[in-house]
Amino acid sequence: MELAQYQNYEEYKKAMNTVLNRTVEDFVMTGYLLKQGRDTDILKDSGYSNVNEFAWAEYKLEATQVSRYIRINDRFSEGGYSPRLQDHYKGFGYAKLALMLTLPESVAEELTPAYSKSEIQAVKEEIESEEKITDIEVILEGEKKEQRDLNNLEKAINQICMEDPELYVKLHGTVRTSVGTEPIKDVLAPDGDKLYSVRPQGCGRIMLYLNDEKDEVILQVVRQSLKERYAWSDILGYLVLITEQEDAKKNWEDLFGQQYPEKEQIAPVQPKKEKRKESKVVKAKPPKAQKQEKEKPVELPSDIPGQTEIEKDFPEMLPEPVKTSEIQREEPNCTGATVEIAESVENSVNNSKTVEENAINTETGTESEEVDNSKQNPAGSRWEYMKTMESYKMALYMAASVNEMPHMMLNSAEYWKKWLEAEVDENGDEFSKK
């Protein structure tokens, strides 16, 4: 048999792509044929009751495999029902396409064949990590003051530079010594394709898709499946603003309020480790755990000047004490005894509260009146009320409030703004709802 001879790498790569594309298109074609067996009466004379039975008997394809072939055709064929693979997905290979089935379509359509299977897996893990975080948790994070007035692209670049000080230093030098966007493309996307995943505080996960051959930059806010399109010049414009100082490390420290993390110098006798191939996917760094100081309980003085004591100041108003013998005469029934004793104690407490209220009214010369809740002074806006709470109590308060909210409004910034600005009383109840 004569072996094929390839003159150069380009010819070899073209042959490889042809084979791989044909293989993937075969999978798409297989899915299409299985759908025909499912959706038409083509199997009526075969003796098989359905396409799963046919696929197993003839080709030993299990039902899960049949389902996977069909879903690949649904997702990646032209029009979702065709024997032909969409041009965008040519070159991926079956293993990658099978993995991409688990990604939202809005994410999968931004990936290219240059991404490896492990890199696509990393993207999948980023999506799953964000799905585990609730909307309430994101709101409670609160935005960083320095990122509050930035657009989503600027927030993403700001977060990237904060999490990777070395990358910031490279960008600092590049921006200050070169012109145009090509040099920053080489820094941010050295292998052509790059995906940065970051989590600006209070915003959720943002994915930034970069390709040095495209003028357009795609940004996706994962929680909202929102896509925004920018240009490389927009990235350069923001980088110019944050690289004004001569000293890159000092500039980074002033920007982020942290000390620049210097790496330990490797001793000359130690051999340098070989550099691993840089991944095209940069995963978001988890937030640093903050140490919470335990709150010390407030110690109240036992004797407050001017405080009224019922027992000392108004002994004649105390109820007669319950005699022990009366309790002892009750039958020794556990349930009955518990109820009767509890009722006695509860009545005594209620009587004491009434006596104390009467005593205070007597002292001030006023009669007991019902409190008019409508005349109580408000605590101010709900936001001011919430700022007085501990984080856990705030979370409980918000969780209870969400149950009463229309689900469709939870992603509306305007709705949350009005909710936070609403006037509430000292118990956190909105006046308009009373």
For residue 131, count other CB atoms closer than 10 A to its CB. Answer: 11
Q: Binning pLDDT at 50, 70 and 90, where does residue 305 land?
A: very low
Question: With contact defined as beta carbons under 8 Å apart, do 358 and 317 qualify?
Answer: yes
Q: What is the amino acid identity at position 54? A: F
pLDDT in tens, 314-359: 455 555 554 444 444 444 444 333 334 334 434 444 444 444 444 4
pLDDT at residue 293 is higher than 90: no
69 or 8, higher pLDDT: 69
Kindly list the domain boundaries of the chain, sorted by start residue: 9-101, 131-261, 380-424
Interior angle at CA 66, CA 60 and CA 70, nearest 5: 150
Coil, strand or helix: which one is 380? strand
| pLDDT value for 282 | 86
Given a contact cutoff of 8 angstroms between Cβ atoms, the answer to whether 38 and 44 are in contact is: no
| CB-based contacts of 72-77 (< 8 A; 24+ apart in sequence) | 72/27, 72/28, 72/31, 72/97, 72/98, 72/101, 73/28, 73/30, 73/31, 73/32, 73/34, 73/35, 74/31, 75/100, 75/101, 75/105, 75/108, 76/28, 77/28, 77/31, 77/32
Cβ 76 vs Cβ 31: under 8 Å: no
Q: Are 186 and 197 in contact (CB under 8 A)?
A: no
* Element of type H or E holding 239: helix 232-241
